[in-house]
Amino acid sequence: MRRIFAKIFIVIAILSFTGSVYAYDFMAGNLYYTITDQAGRLVEVSAGDVKYRGDVVIPNTVTNGGVTYTVSEIGWLVFKQSTELTSIVLNDNIKEISANEFQDCTNLVSVSLGSGLEKIGGRAFLDCTSLSSINLNDNIVELGGEVFNGCSSLTHAVIGSNFSTSGGSNFRNCINLQTIEIHNGAKVIGESEFRNCTSLKTVEIPNSVIELGSNAFQECKNLTTVKIGDGVQSISYHIFTECTRLNTLILGAGINEIGWRTAVNATQLESITCLNPNVPTLAEDAFATFAATVYVPSQSVSAYQVADVWKQFAAIKSYEEKIYLTIRQGDKGMIKQLANVGESYHYTILPENGWRIHSVTFNDEDVTMQLVDGTYTTPAMTENGILSVVYEQEGSDVRVLEANSVKVTGDSKGNIRISNLNIGETVRIYSMKGDLIHQFYANRGNEYLQMNTHGVYVVKVGNRSFKINI
């Protein structure tokens, strides 16, 4: 008889748990909540009967049963592997995102972090392969490590001014990351922080950064220019290893030691500017080659020329004490301003009513695609620079671009005409995604192409680039 009652009790117990698998107290809107402090009227966002999907906005407060609660937290792993989640907006009450919280949310495109957020746990956004940009606000102090590792669609990232603790590898394998903006005030770049970010081309580290971790930019194969601010004192091993296109390196006045194997296989390095008047210690195997020209303060040239290891460089010269940035804007005239060696400059372009930006070049290189909200940031200046802006009238049908004698003309019918070519000159047509559409060698002075679809194309003639909208 006891066995029968025991079996009946077990059946009843099982039946009583056939409801929700997840423990939550109530649902409001499309979110599940658990009360964490009844007296303080606090709740956290919880997992529920179904995975979160679509666009999710976490409110500041939520009301249930006539009681209004403050939404102060996100429960552990609530959103992990929510593959149909497309955007998330956090409120200003949430101070921390737990480790692995949004891991493998493969369709998550947009993340808005609240102003109260201070810490993001390790791997919180690991392999969120659709995430395109992230703005780490100035209140964020800590990234736990590998936070955005493998976010292969990420193109732009902002690191706020209070960032001081890194678990390392936070942006590793973000293969489409093109720009990083590190606010002055940030203290650290962690180990392997941007490793294998193969689309990254320029990096400027502000004076506030005092720690630059090993392997930080290893395997950034398209990185060409790096400026390290005055706060960093030591460069450790493998920071620029396998940066095979690194051309220009500017070292701040605080650098006093360059460690072993700093830039293995960085064989294209042509220019090293060292702003420290006191010669830093340099490891014998720090650089892959001694073919680069080293630029130093004028009063320190002789000291660098006789210093151990430094004396092996092909040339050691003084850098120009005064350089200028010239800005040209069509018929608006020209502005020439004094620039500081090693500094980058931000220039916001505001077309007049009825006009729009056609193209922007810096030292004859087309940089139109580098504009962020109409603002162009120059590389760290080591020589005179010329920024040129070309405008076009809105609604104009025919567009003409010119560099030296070559002209590129397009119209709304999909036609591109390239004039004044040299015989045998290489012409390439690219999509805005960088895909090569057409390539040929000029066999006459003028070439005519009809494109199959309308849109924006990049025409490259030799080392000159033209952006054309047809």
Whole-number percent of the chain with pLDDT over 70: 89
Confidence at residue 443, expressed as pLDDT on a 0 to 100 scale: 67
Whether 10 has a pLDDT exceeding 50, the answer reads no
Q: Read off the pLDDT of each residue in 248-269 and give the average, rounded to a whole number.
A: 95
**pLDDT (tens digit per residue) in 407-460:** 787 776 777 888 878 766 778 887 766 667 777 767 677 777 877 777 778 788
Q: Read off the pLDDT of each residue in 23-41 and give the average, rounded to a whole number.
A: 96
Contact 320, 296 (CB under 8 A): no
Name the amino acid, one letter, at 368: T
Whether 303 has a pLDDT exceeding 60, the answer reads yes
Q: Is 347 buried (19+), middle (13-18) or exposed (0-12) by CB count in 10 A?
A: middle
Confidence at residue 393, expressed as pLDDT on a 0 to 100 scale: 74
Residue with tokens 């004094």: 338
Confidence at residue 38, expressed as pLDDT on a 0 to 100 scale: 96
CATH of 401-469, one of 3.90.1150.10, 3.30.70.20, 1.10.150.170, 2.60.40.3080: 2.60.40.3080
Q: How far is CA 45 from CA 56, 301, 357, in A?
A: 11, 62, 45
41: left (phi over 0), alpha (psi -120 to 50) or beta: left
Least confident of 211-215, 251-255, 280-284, 338-342: 338-342
Least confident of 150-159, 164-173, 215-224, 327-336: 327-336
d(CA 411, CA 448): 12
Q: Read off the pLDDT of each residue in 310-323 and give the average, rounded to a whole number.
A: 88
Confidence at residue 17, expressed as pLDDT on a 0 to 100 scale: 39
Whether 18 has a pLDDT exceeding 60, the answer reads no
d(CA 163, CA 338): 31
Confidence at residue 433, expressed as pLDDT on a 0 to 100 scale: 61
Whether 377 has a pLDDT exceeding 80, the answer reads yes
Whether 274 has a pLDDT exceeding 80, the answer reads yes
Higher pLDDT, 414 or 244: 244
Whether 397 has a pLDDT exceeding 60, the answer reads no
Confidence at residue 213, expressed as pLDDT on a 0 to 100 scale: 96
d(CA 24, CA 46): 6
Higher pLDDT, 58 or 373: 58
**pLDDT (tens digit per residue) in 194-226:** 999 999 999 999 999 999 999 999 999 999 999
Q: Read off the pLDDT of each residue in 354-373 and give the average, rounded to a whole number.
A: 83
Confidence at residue 405, expressed as pLDDT on a 0 to 100 scale: 65
Which of 61, 67, 123 is CA-nearest to residue 92? 61
d(CA 245, CA 136): 29
First vs last C-alpha separation in the chain:
87
Whether 49 has a pLDDT exceeding 50, the answer reads yes
Confidence at residue 398, expressed as pLDDT on a 0 to 100 scale: 44
DSSP letter at 185 equals T
Contact 45, 73 (CB under 8 A): yes
Contact 185, 211 (CB under 8 A): no
d(CA 144, CA 119): 8
Least confident of 44-48, 183-187, 390-394, 463-467: 463-467
> Where does the chain hold its CATH 2.60.40.3080 domain(s)?
401-469
Higher pLDDT, 404 or 278: 278
Which of 87, 97, 82 is CA-nearest to residue 57? 87
- Which of the four pLDDT bands, split at 50, 70 and 90, describes residue 19? very low
Average pLDDT taken over every residue of the chain: 87
